[in-house]
Amino acid sequence: GENVEQHPSTLSVQEGDSAVIKCTYSDSASNYFPWYKQELGKRPQLIIDIRSNVGEKKDQRIAVTLNKTAKHFSLHITETQPEDSAVYFCAASRDTGFQKLVFGTGTRLLVSP
């Protein structure tokens, strides 16, 4: 089955710096890759996703890149702000009627003022 590895497990940056979180997946048939943000004690919320027919997607300060050949995808956050502090999860799934998301183990991002 699918396995998703996520690195780093923790990431500390100064406000205004960029942050990059990387994930690798094992199932070459996976073609949907979402990123979720989870603040302490709250529900995960989708922040950006990408499908395998594109290599990059951007939404304001957040971007995701996908390398299908290498089977890895990354989340890039530019101009980080303290409110970006949270746990970020990547996930992968196949394009099927039932969408089984396999999640990475999460990255705790701390943005210091």
Partner 1 sequence: DGGITQSPKYLFRKEGQNVTLSCEQNLNHDAMYWYRQDPGQGLRLIYYSQIVNDFQKGDIAEGYSVSREKKESFPLTVTSAQKNPTAFYLCATRTSGSSYEQYFGPGTRLTVT
Give the amino acid at 84: D
* Count of other CB atoms within 10 angstroms of residue 103: 16
Name the residue among 50, 48, 51, 5 with its Cα closest to residue 24. 5
Q: Which of 81, 83, 86, 110 is nearest to 16 (CA)?
A: 81
Within 10 Å of residue 42's Cβ, how many Cβ atoms? 10
CB 79 → partner 1: shortest distance, Å? Answer: 25
Here's the x/- map for partner 1, 18-37, by CB under 8 A: it reads as --------------x-x---
Nearest approach, Cβ of residue 73 and partner 1 (Å): 15
Cβ-based nearer residue to partner 1, 97 or 113: 97
| Sign, Cα dihedral of 109, 32, 24, 73 | negative
Binding mask 38-67 for partner 1 (x = CB under 8 A): ----xxxxx--x-x----------------
Q: Which two tokens stand for residue 96?
A: 């099927």
Q: Which is nearer to partner 1, 51 or 61 (CB)?
A: 51
Nearer to partner 1, 26 or 99 (CB): 99
Per rule CB under 8 A, count of chain residues that contact partner 1? 25
